[in-house]
Chains A and B, each alone.
Chain A
Amino acid sequence: DVKVTQSSRYLVKRTGEKVFLECVQDMDHENMFWYRQDPGLGLRLIYFSYDVKMKEKGDIPEGYSVSREKKERFSLILESASTNQTSMYLCASTPDRGTEAFFGQGTRLTVV
């Protein structure tokens, strides 16, 4: 089975902290994604990556950055956490264009 693992299920951070969310997939997928999910807004794409060291902005990249140094790992970085970044963060991966996305279990981040 494909496995996408996010480093934390729940996280509480203070305003202004630098926050790292980690995602690891074990199926050699080329594409990886970071979404945030808020009530009534669905999944909104923050960043995605189609290859090692390659990244593209999604629809809401402001306040975030990403890193993909190895194919299996895609990190989301909140440079200076703010309360409006309190959300559920979901990582996903896909093997190639047009195929199923596999999701991690999600990280519920609270910024206080």
Chain B
Amino acid sequence: QKEVEQNSGPLSVPEGAIASLNCTYSDRGSQSFFWYRQYSGKSPELIMFIYSNGDKEDGRFTAQLNKASQYVSLLIRDSQPSDSATYLCAVNRGSGGYNKLIFGAGTRLAVHP
């Protein structure tokens, strides 16, 4: 079992719709959770991070964390063609004073006009 699992997609949504991206992780000791966006040929860039159970909203983006179910999700409201990218879920498995950042394989999102 992979430590961080995502559906590879592609996830195709029409412009203006809500895109829902999901991620599960295997280590209950994981402490913090991140969503990165990566455009083709570019490096990943942080969209949101979440540490506590529940929802965290930032503009059109909402991250949801459920530690009991070991599940993280990202909702993108009012999706735009510019949101078309690969979305990477990352989990910080830091312990013993260091920081081990593990990524999922990513979900490709396509927003069509």
**A residues within 8 Å of B by Cβ?**
30-31, 33, 35, 40-45, 48, 50, 54, 56, 58-59, 90, 92, 94, 96-101, 103-106
Contacts and interface: CB of A to CB of B under 8 A. Distances in A.
B101 A45 contact: yes
B100 A98 contact: no
Contact of A98 (B32, B97, B105): B32
Contacts of B34: 100-101
Nearest to B4: A42
B26 to A, nearest CB: 13
A45 to B, nearest CB: 6
Given A100-B34, A105-B43, A92 B101 contact: yes
Contacts of A58: 100
A18 B66 CA distance: 45
A97 B99 contact: yes
By size class, the interface of chain B is: 20 to 34
Given A97-B94, A100-B34, A101-B90, 13 more contacts: A41-B105, A42-B106, A43-B103, A45-B102, A45-B103, A94-B101, A97-B31, A97-B97, A97-B98, A101-B36, A101-B44, A101-B46, A103-B44
Contact of B103 (A31, A42, A106): A42
Given A42-B106, A43-B88, A94 B100 contact: no
A40 B99 contact: no
B62 interface: no
A104 B43 CA distance: 7
